[in-house]
Amino acid sequence: MGFADKRIAIVGGGLGGMALANSALYAELRNVHMYEAAAQFTEVGAGVNITRNANRLLDAMGVGPSMLAKSSRDPPSYMEYRHYRTGEFLGQIDEFGAPTSRQIHRAHLLEALKENVPDAHVSLGKRLQSLEWSTAKKEYTLTFVDGTTAAADIVVGCDGIKSVVRSQYLGLGDNPIYSGQMVYRGYVSYDDLTHETAALLRKTVNFRGPRRHVLTLPIGNDEAKNARVGIIGFMTEPLENWTSESWLSTAPVDDMYEHVKDWTGAVQEIVEGLRKGSADGKILKQALYVREPTAKWFDVRPDAPGSGVILIGDSVHSTLPHQGQGACQAIESGFALAQVLRYWPDSNLGAALQYFQDLRKPRTDRITSSSYETGKMASADIPEEQWATSFNPTVVRERMRWVMEYDLMGELAKGLPIGGDEVAIEEETTSELPAAVTVC
């Protein structure tokens, strides 16, 4: 049964939308079409770390080889921690097994995902303006800013944290919450570092400081000649200092330097490398927002079985990036949704989407709250003398185990008639996100 005959519109072609398009075609949902606002696929930032829980799915869909050709090659650990001022080694989190994490330029990941999606399934320059249900035609009408329209039976909002689908159609009017941190992002060339620092930054390194931390990702690889260091500086700043109208803007490298001017030599090299790599002396600066977990992920039409609207990715389960999971969770959700739509045993879309939400929400809620906690640990506000002893890498590694070791395909096989078993969803415990999120 399932919904393979339905017209599925994906709104948004970021990492989440593109992962869903791959997953839909992999599941043989051929009647799928993606509408992306930008005139071409773009992803900015300082690279992204895709962990093994998501890589297992990307590998199953055949994205692995192209991704690996563009990404880092098995760094020795998932994360290494260093003292912000002395540079002293504090501990590391080892990987949990193959496939390991991959650090990759966001645009390269998007490219790898696009390779499996024929152009016929994609429309660019289509910014959704409104989404309405036509009672006469029993279909959704998507109206774009350029005045064109499209029709669909199922609409999936993958349009990010400021989602139009979310606010307009599902009527969720809550506002994202400022996390308390600004993020500075850029790249440093290995050639701009001393030999010793370049060798260190072949690993994913987290320089832990009070109320701040600098994360470095070894993006790309030497064979592809795209190896460089992605820099993400998480700095506690009041929102009042933010003068840009947009969440994502640029700022002088000096602004980040002010936060880290007494930090270890490797961090000073990073700042110098950022200056050298930036023609105008600026890097990306972003105010970090998150939404509280949402109760309502979807809506179905009572007058048309098989028609409905659902959200995935940052539009519904955004998280702070401290466990490197926002894109990974969007990939997991895209894969799960496609499998549910393909293999659901009857024509009851409401039941299918409820099953999907019940499968995904406990996990994404838990990731939202635990990422907030991990952020507090990464940028802890503790006295200097307790600094080294306060950090326990074993505890941090165990906090990542359930994230990385999750077997989505196994969970789906338990509940969908792929394996012929009954629907059985294992509940996970969740902890609430505090009403006002402030990362110290």
**Residue numbers at the binding site for ligand FAD (CB under 6 A):** 11-17, 35-38, 48-50, 127-128, 158-160, 164, 183, 232, 286, 288, 313-314, 321, 324-328, 330
Pick 53 or 197: Cβ nearer ligand FAD: 53
Nearer to ligand FAD, 330 or 337 (CB): 330
CB contact at 8 A, 369 and 433: yes
> Taking the complex as a whole, how short is the minimal distance between the CB of residue 65 and ligand FAD, in angstroms?
20
- Report in angstroms how near the CB of residue 377 gets to ligand FAD at its nearest: 17
Helix (H) or strand (E) holding 354: helix 349-378
d(Cα 440, Cα 235) in Å, to the nearest integer? Answer: 9
Fill in the DSSP letter of residue 185: E
Least distance CB 372 / ligand FAD (angstroms): 14
CB closer to ligand FAD out of 160 and 218: 160
Measured from the CB atom, the residue of 46 and 416 that comes closer to ligand FAD is 46
| Closest distance to ligand FAD from the beta carbon of 13 (Å) | 5
Residue 45 backbone dihedrals phi, psi, to 5 degrees: 135, -160
How many helices (H) and strands (E) are present in the chain, helices listed first? 13, 19
Query: Is the N-terminal amide bond of 99 cis, ω within 30° of 0?
Result: yes
- Pick between residue 416 and residue 437 the one whose CB is nearest to ligand FAD: 437
Residues 125 and 144: their CA atoms lie apart, in Å, by 9
In angstroms, what is the minimal distance from the CB of 303 to ligand FAD? Answer: 26
Nearer to ligand FAD, 165 or 198 (CB): 165
Backbone angles phi, psi at 275, to 5 degrees: -60, -45
CB of 142 to ligand FAD, least distance (A): 9
In the complex, minimum distance from the CB of residue 144 to ligand FAD, in angstroms, rounded to a whole number: 7
Q: Do 282 and 251 touch, CB atoms closer than 8 A?
A: yes
Q: In the sheet that 154-157 helps form, which strands lie side by side, from edge to edge?
A: 122-123, 32-35, 8-11, 154-157, 308-311, 298-300
Burial of residue 293, with CB atoms counted within 10 A of its CB: 0-12 exposed, 13-18 middle, 19 or more buried: buried
Which is nearer to ligand FAD, 8 or 164 (by Cβ)? 164
